Amino acid sequence: MRKMLLVAVLAGAVGAAVSMYVTRTTTSGQTTRPARVEGRPNFSGIWQANNEAHWDLQAHEARAGAVTQEGAYPFEYARVAAAPVVALGAAGGVPASLGVVQGDGQIPYTAEALAIRKANAENWIDRDPELKCYLPGIPRAMYMPYPFEITQSTNKIHFGYAFAVTARTVHLDEVDPPPAETWMGHSVGRWDGDTLVVTVSDFNDKTWFDRAGNFHSEALTLTERFTLITPDVIDYEVTIEDPKVFTRPWTIAMPLYRRLEPNMQLLEYRCTDIAEEFMYGNLRRKPLVTRWEGETMIVDITRKVPPGDRFYEWFRK
């Protein structure tokens, strides 16, 4: 860290020279950037989580895949990858994790909500919004395995996410709430010393927290806390409240790391086209993806059509 003396040019007709000190921080692989903006910590940059929360917020053992079935032995840990992911081998597995849920490590679901969570996990392929390239919501967008960029100004802080090319704005000034519920929520920020505190509300109920089926209702409210541990590490903490789904507030926490590559930039992951065949392939008059044949196995695909789906029958005519 070093201080640079900046001397301004003569200011207009007054001809007065103005000098000021600006603290700048230089790190490997990044251009020099101000350490503070208007006296506040500077969060601007490209960041990424480095954990397994993307798969499951809670601590878990490694497992054969996000979709499994009973194996040769009647034990929970002996389940094997089910047909939709078996051809992926280890690449389709779920890595073990110590979890990011604070306290006892458990998400405090109501009994009814816990049953929905279990059904979500068992029907992951059909239900997870990520597979359909829907907007990921908050906090999920913060720890998906893709970078995101923070751009900080005096009264707004913009978050741009690679996944689904989505974004949100944290308002540090007074603004009207959105006219309807949203995928990414409505973010209002304030400063608590050097910690950025963001309250996020006005969610719809269509996003998940991870690939394990953890979910929420439209009553979700988040309190995020961003604190710079070092110029290149953010301590990220989120308290989650939703009285329709959880018996009490609960908290997740993790570090977020600055990407230090010299040519780092936020590249868009426009996944809409990628998800098109998955979501709408059954609407083709002549099915396009029906079979995959590799060296060790053949996978045949048969589309299921909901009974009485008049739109499907009309579209196929």
Mean pLDDT of 134-145: 98
Q: With 80 as the cut, is the pLDDT of residue 315 above it?
A: no
76 confidence band (pLDDT: 50, 70, 90): low
pLDDT score, position 77: 65
What CA–CA distance (Å, rounded) separates 259 from 149? 10
Q: What is the pLDDT of residues 147-168, one digit of tens each?
A: 999 999 999 999 999 999 999 9
165 with 245, same domain? yes
Residues with Cβ within 8 Å of 60's Cβ and at least 6 positions away in sequence, in order, are 94, 96, 97, 99, 212
Beta carbons of 101 and 308 less than 8 angstroms apart? no
pLDDT score, position 36: 87
Q: With 50 as the cut, is the pLDDT of residue 105 above it?
A: yes
257 with 293, same domain? no
112 with 8, same domain? no
7 confidence band (pLDDT: 50, 70, 90): very low
Give a yes or no: residue 17 inside a domain.
yes
CA angle 85/86/90 to nearest 5° reads 90
210 Rama sector, left if φ>0, alpha if ψ -120 to 50, beta otherwise: beta
Compute the CA torsion angle 42, 55, 84, 268 (nearest 10 deg): 0
Percent share of the chain, pLDDT over 90: 73
Give a yes or no: residue 68 inside a domain.
no
Beta carbons of 49 and 254 less than 8 angstroms apart? yes
Give a yes or no: residue 87 inside a domain.
no
Mean pLDDT of 202-218: 98
Q: Provide the 10 A C-beta neighbour count for residue 314.
A: 8
Q: What is the pLDDT of residues 260-293, one digit of tens each?
A: 999 999 999 999 999 999 999 988 888 899 999 9
290 with 184, same domain? no
Give a yes or no: residue 276 inside a domain.
no
Q: With 80 as the cut, is the pLDDT of residue 256 above it?
A: yes
Give a yes or no: residue 115 inside a domain.
yes
pLDDT score, position 10: 33
Give a yes or no: residue 61 inside a domain.
no
154 with 239, same domain? yes
298 with 263, same domain? no
Which range among 90-104, 129-143, 276-290 shows the weakest confidence by mean pLDDT?
276-290
pLDDT score, position 306: 67
Give a yes or no: residue 162 inside a domain.
yes
266 with 287, same domain? no
Give a yes or no: residue 240 inside a domain.
yes
314 confidence band (pLDDT: 50, 70, 90): low
32 with 104, same domain? no
Considering its fold, how many domains does the chain have in total?
A: 3
157 with 129, same domain? yes
What is the span of the domain harbouring residue 127? Answer: 99-270
pLDDT score, position 239: 98
* pTM (predicted TM-score): 0.85
293 with 216, same domain? no
Q: With 50 as the cut, is the pLDDT of residue 28 above it?
A: no
209 with 298, same domain? no
Closest CA to 261 of 158, 115, 98, 147: 147
CATH number of domain containing 257: 2.40.128
254 with 295, same domain? no
What CA–CA distance (Å, rounded) separates 46 from 38? 20
Mean pLDDT of 97-113: 98
